[in-house]
Amino acid sequence: MSRPEAQMLISPACRDALQLWLQGLRALDGAAANTISAYQGDLSSFLAFMTRHNGAPQGLGALARITTSDMRSWMAQERNSGAGARSLARKLSAVKSFYRWLAEREGFEPTAVLAARAPKFQKKLPRPLDKDAARAVIETVELQSGTDWIAARDVAVVTLLYGCGLRISEALSLTGKAAPLPASLRILGKGGKERLVPVIEAAREAVQRYLDLSPYPKESDGPLFRGLRGGALNPRQIQGAMAQARAQLGLPASATPHALRHSFATHLLEAGGDLRAIQELLGHASLSTTQTYTAVDTAHLMAIYNRSHPKA
């Protein structure tokens, strides 16, 4: 069901409550635009299901009386529609978050919703590139364009992703006033979380080479990385350059721009980096998110052990 169709099945009172909740997430919690959009879709789908399930648009009073059976029916419908365990867990998390806010506002106990258990799933481990592959990707990206300044631009972006652990959205949000790059960058990440990221010399040199070749003048308030016609660079351009590079190098589909950020963290950990320091560099709100890289590092060590130890 499309989002507009779902909206038509939601009562005005519920639509208003949903918008108030989303506004609060945006204003008070600094939730990213993509997070807001995902939550809106998840909740619209949930509320539309409750309308169909009960045969009439559900007002706030009806939402307060939701039962365990209702929650089971919704979760079963989601699974039958093809939602995987991970996707359903995310949707349930959004519904619980909304209900906590609604229950406090309307004064009811959201026990049936909060007691619903998400399906268990195996967390996906990050899939970094090894050091040689990461270097090869950067070298190969430079060969993807016949235009010197575009090739230099793409190299500068992927060098920032791997050398500084930036998300692609963070790299492309940099403005002209960031250049020439200082010894450390102040990055505004997810949820408005700010962090300082050291900038390696290779990244400074790559960005400066791009600026020297770029046909567009640097503007303090304009985008640092520009597209062919001078506008802000679209992430799809970097994703395309990475796709071409991995095809030439025979790398798996997991070798994406974000994999370079994974590689940054994993290679720091392999070199003895402190987990708390890596958490700060990546801008993770929770240490548990960063700890997934220890599992990658352990898997890497076991693979070496199995290949080389005489008793393996």
pLDDT for the residue numbered 97: 93
**pLDDT given for residue 304 in this prediction:** 44
Share of the chain above pLDDT 90, in %: 42
Catalytic position from the list 167, 226, 246, 267: 167
pLDDT tier for residue 131 given thresholds of 50, 70 and 90 = confident
Please indicate whether residue 258 is annotated as part of the active site.
Answer: yes
pLDDT in the model for residue 305: 44
Higher pLDDT, 217 or 31: 217
Radius of gyration of the CA atoms of the chain, in A: 23
- Average pLDDT of 189-202? 82
195 φ, ψ (degrees, to nearest 5): -150, 160
Over residues 99-121, the mean pLDDT reads 89
Instruction: Identify whether 167 is a catalytic site residue.
Output: yes
* 261 has catalytic annotation: yes
Active site residue 284: yes
State pLDDT tens for residues 243-256. Answer: 999 999 998 888 88
Query: What are the C-alpha distances in Å from 208 to residues 52, 151, 152, 154, 186?
Result: 58, 13, 9, 12, 18
Question: Is 190 marked active-site?
Answer: yes
| Lowest-pLDDT choice from 76-80, 190-194, 199-203, 262-266 | 190-194
Give yes or no for a contact between 143 and 151, defined as CB atoms under 8 angstroms apart.
yes
The model's confidence at residue 286, banded by pLDDT at 50, 70 and 90, is low
Interval 36-45 mean pLDDT: 90
56 pLDDT above the threshold of 80? no
pLDDT tens figures, 153-191: 999 999 999 988 888 999 999 999 999 999 988 888 777
**pLDDT of 312 above 60:** no
Q: Is 0.75 surpassed by the pTM of this model?
A: no
Q: What pLDDT, on the 0 to 100 scale, is given for residue 83?
A: 85
More confident residue, 272 or 115: 115
Over range 278-305, report the average pLDDT: 57
Check 204, 246, 261, 267 and give the catalytic one: 261
Least confident interval from 20-24, 46-50, 68-72, 119-123? 119-123
Catalytic choice (131, 190, 209, 218): 190
The rounded distance, in Å, linking the Cα atoms of 14 and 51 is 11
Q: Is the confidence at residue 41, as pLDDT, over 80?
A: yes
Tens of pLDDT, residue by residue over 211-242, are 999 999 999 899 999 999 999 999 999 999 99
Q: H/E element holding 195?
A: strand 194-198
Q: Could you say which of 53, 127, 258, 300 is catalytic? A: 258
Backbone angles phi and psi of 197, in degrees to 5: -120, 120
**Statement: residue 2 has pLDDT above 80:** no
All residues at 6 or more sequence positions from 290 whose CB lies less than 8 Å from its CB, including other chains: 265, 275, 278, 279, 282, 284
For residue 310, the model assigns a pLDDT of 61
Q: What is the 3-state secondary structure (H, E, C) of 97-130?
A: HHHHHHHHHHCCCCHHHHCCCCCCCCCCCCCCCC
Catalytic residue among 39, 99, 210, 293: 293
pLDDT of 307 > 70? The answer is: no
Whether 267 is catalytic? no
